[in-house]
Amino acid sequence: MAIRCIALDMDRTTLNPEGKLSEHNRAALERAINRGIAVVIASGRTFTSLPADVVGIPGIAYAITSNGAALYHLPTGKCLHRFLLEPGSVEQVLALTAGENVTYEGFIDGQAYADQAYVDHPERYGADRLAAAYVRETRRPEPEIRAFLRAHARQLDGMDIVVQDQAVKARLWAQLEREVPELYVTSSIQRLLELAHRNAGKHSGLRLVLERLGISREETAAFGDGDNDAEMLSFSGVGIAMANGTPACLAAADFVTKSNGEDGVAWGMEHFLGI
């Protein structure tokens, strides 16, 4: 069956290790668009922090953001659908993580907010050079992030828990899934636990796009690298994981392409999709 839609994760998938769109990947996306294929952004990023390199490509109309919590129409900037966190879930998360060595991020109307100390020194929370620059550029600082999240509990598209200790992360992940049933829990990188409404997820956002376009999941291909991409790859007719993907992502894929540092999206489109 011919592919009519391609959903693309951004970081460590479509973007190279420097966070940029390579010319090879750009040419592949433009070739797909010129053939009438819908290219859809599917990111854990908020709307305001989507990469300009990709958003600026003519013909890309839809962006699944915040791990499927919000769907945007790029030409107009309009939010087409949103799964807001339940206020009770926000309070449960804050209660369960009180006293833990963590900090938080919150997402409202496509904008990310974070604790002032985290924005000032993200490297102290495990961010590398590029991630630290990204945090400083995209997060609005709040002096008391827990108070901010409580005050805006009815407006949150999602929130992140920033945690350095992987054992603590695994424990909190299991506890949140067990004790907060209205929550969708996933992760794109080691230091983050990413939280949204239970009906969110990139696969849910992609389903909404396909319904709008009249395209079946069997006519869809998806590329990703993280745990937060695994369900989208399983949902799509063709799921393609990056060579640098997590075990969960690799297990969900039909094919494994080259790494994001080797233009794996373009290579996968050419070799697996014939585009």
CATH of the domain at 38: 3.40.50.1000
Among 169, 197, 225, identify where a domain stops.
Answer: 197
Do 187 and 106 belong to one domain?
Answer: yes
> How far apart are the C-alpha atoms of 214 and 191, rounded to whole Å?
37
pLDDT higher than threshold 80 for residue 20: yes
- CA-CA-CA-CA torsion for 27, 31, 32, 34, nearest 10 degrees? 140
Domain range holding 112? 87-197
Among 197, 218, 244, identify where a domain stops.
Answer: 197
CATH number of the domain bearing residue 184? 3.30.1240.10
Do 93 and 172 belong to one domain?
Answer: yes
Band of the pLDDT at 1, cuts 50, 70, 90? confident
Q: What is the pLDDT of residues 75-111, one digit of tens each?
A: 999 999 999 999 999 999 999 999 999 999 999 999 9
Task: Supply the DSSP string of 182-251, one letter for each residue.
Answer: TEEEE-SSTTEEEEEETT-SHHHHHHHHHHHHT--GGGEEEEE-SGGGHHHHHHSSEEEE-TT--HHHHH
Give the single-character DSSP code of 12.
I
Do 193 and 258 belong to one domain?
Answer: no
Q: What is the pLDDT of residues 184-216, one digit of tens each?
A: 999 999 999 999 999 999 999 999 999 999 999
> How far apart are the C-alpha atoms of 262 and 94, rounded to whole Å?
40
Average of pLDDT values for 241-261?
98
Do 98 and 162 belong to one domain?
Answer: yes
Band of the pLDDT at 148, cuts 50, 70, 90? very high
Quote the number of domains for the chain: 2
Instruction: Please tell me whether residue 40 adopts helix, strand or coil conformation.
Output: strand
Do 117 and 245 belong to one domain?
Answer: no
pLDDT higher than threshold 80 for residue 17: yes
Average of pLDDT values for 151-157?
98
Do 234 and 260 belong to one domain?
Answer: yes
User: How does the average pLDDT of the chain come out, rounded?
Assistant: 97
pLDDT higher than threshold 90 for residue 171: yes
Do 169 and 208 belong to one domain?
Answer: no
| Lateral strand order in the sheet of 255-256 | 78-82, 70-73, 62-65, 38-42, 5-8, 220-224, 238-241, 255-256
Do 75 and 23 belong to one domain?
Answer: yes
Band of the pLDDT at 231, cuts 50, 70, 90? very high
Structure tokens at 197: 């409404």
Do 28 and 76 belong to one domain?
Answer: yes
Among 182, 197, 212, identify where a domain stops.
Answer: 197
Do 108 and 159 belong to one domain?
Answer: yes
CB atoms within 10 A of CB 151: 12
Average of pLDDT values for 122-134?
93
- Are the CB atoms for 217 and 237 separated by under 8 Å? yes
Give Cα 189 to chain centroid, integer Å: 10
